[in-house]
Amino acid sequence: MKFLEYQVKERFRAAGIPVPDGRLAKTPDEAALAAGALGPIAVKAQVPVGGRGKAGGIKLAKTAADAKSVAGEILGMTIKGYTVREIWCETAQDITRELYLGLTLDRDARKPVLILSAQGGMEIEEVAETHPETIAKLHPDPWRGPLPFEVRDLIFRAGLGPLQAQLTPLVVKLYGLARTYDALTIEINPLALTQDGGLVAADGKLEIDENAMFRHKDLHGTDESEEDPLEAEARRRRLTYVRLDGSIGVIGNGAGLVMNTLDLVSREGGRAANFLDIGGGAKAEVVHSALELLAGDPHVKGILINIFGGITRGDEVAHGIIDASRDLNLKLPLVVRMTGTREEEGRQLLREAGITPEATATGAARKIVELATGAGR
């Protein structure tokens, strides 16, 4: 689960990480009021994606009149598919230097990693690529968290020694927030050094581990309305779904199997409309729910189901598919590749119901590409 900038900053503020003063606005008039109260402000589109600045979603306003006009431009904009409905109006900062401070999971190290750089801002990824020596990292012990001496060492390694007294508690607080919210990623970028020598979180990101949501029930739905509606619906159905830009709906059990199915569709000249994993042990209701989800997506021109029947028997899975496609009155081309326990019985049932069964995943991928695009090979 991701948060919008202003939601992240609320949490930063509560944790004692300095942020600029700001107000949320939903209309140009509210933005004007904010500028009246705060003075010169930055007006920032609240969308859960990067690249807002380049897309024109961040503008400065010196006066209330400026703020009203700028807010009028930004509200209603579409940025990477997200309509701007809220803007964050915050005191414009006099920034002398942009640092980067973030935490994510380093899967190779099997630990969280804190990242600090004196070269923050929009180009941090390029900096990491071209000048890796300017990026200092710390892998805190997951039980102890970052110890003060480790944080000091990180800061000195990043060449930020003179800011040590200010930065040390900030790093510790950021890690604390990450733990509190089970953050997969938490970032302050830029972490701005202002004219008066203070540090302030000029922008922030926070993404929460979905697996830990049982510890954060109060956070459910905080920003769901801002997400891709199909992804939000998939989440409600507890399906692992990622929207892609092709036309062939793909359903499978197991992430590796689904990814492999996407690869096979691609090999056969098609493009998948999604990644949809119904998890190990395919059950009839889950197949039903997944089919329903894809059937509602106008981009989907055909559906490929790839199931390995392990514990569950092939004939049961076949019944699930047949019932679902009948209940949904599915008109789209549907190809099923099913293997494992009682695969022959399953295939027979599918054939009888008028659904194309395929024995191999490669064959199934070829078939659905033919059917969905009319382009055989």
Active site residues: 100, 187
Residue 314 binds what, of its own copies, another protein, none (CB under 5 to 8 Å, by partner type)? none
The one among 211, 225, 354, 377 contacting another protein by CB under 8 A: 211
Segment 109-138, which members bind another protein (CB under 8 A)?
110-113, 115, 124-125, 128-129, 135, 137
The one among 237, 310, 323, 353 contacting another protein by CB under 8 A: 310
The span from the CA of 24 to the CA of 8, in Å, is: 13
The one among 81, 108, 331, 354 contacting another protein by CB under 8 A: 108
| Identity of the residue numbered 228 | D
Mask 236-275, x = binds another protein (CB under 8 A)?
Answer: ------x-x-------xxxxxx-xx-xxxxxx----x--x
Segment 5-64, which members bind another protein (CB under 8 A)?
50
Burial class (CB in 10 A: 0-12, 13-18, 19+), 285: exposed
Question: Could you count the other beta carbons within 10 Å of the beta carbon of residue 139?
Answer: 14
Size of the site for another protein (CB under 8 A): 79
Across the beta sheet with 58-61, what order do the strands follow? 22-25, 87-91, 41-45, 58-61
**Nearest alpha carbon to residue 117 among 92, 136, 96, 141:** 136
- CB 144, min distance to its own copies, A: 5
Is position 141 an interface residue for another protein (rule: CB under 8 A)? yes
Residue 45 binds what, of its own copies, another protein, none (CB under 5 to 8 Å, by partner type)? none
Is position 330 an interface residue for another protein (rule: CB under 8 A)? no
Is position 152 an interface residue for another protein (rule: CB under 8 A)? yes
Contact 247, 282 (CB under 8 A): no
**Binding-site ranges for its own copies (CB under 8 A):** 141, 143-144
Question: Could you count the other beta carbons within 10 Å of the beta carbon of residue 76?
Answer: 10
DSSP state letters, 144-166: T---HHHHHHHHHHTT-GGGHHH
Q: Name residues whose C-beta falls within 8 Å of residue 130's C-beta, 6 or more positions apart in sequence.
A: none
Residue 293 binds what, of another protein, its own copies, none (CB under 5 to 8 Å, by partner type)? none
Segment 180-209, which members bind another protein (CB under 8 A)?
182, 184-185, 187, 189, 205, 207, 209
The span from the CA of 24 to the CA of 223, in Å, is: 15
Residues β-bridged to residue 151: none
Of 144 and 377, which has the nearer Cβ to its own copies? 144
Residue 32 binds what, of its own copies, another protein, none (CB under 5 to 8 Å, by partner type)? none
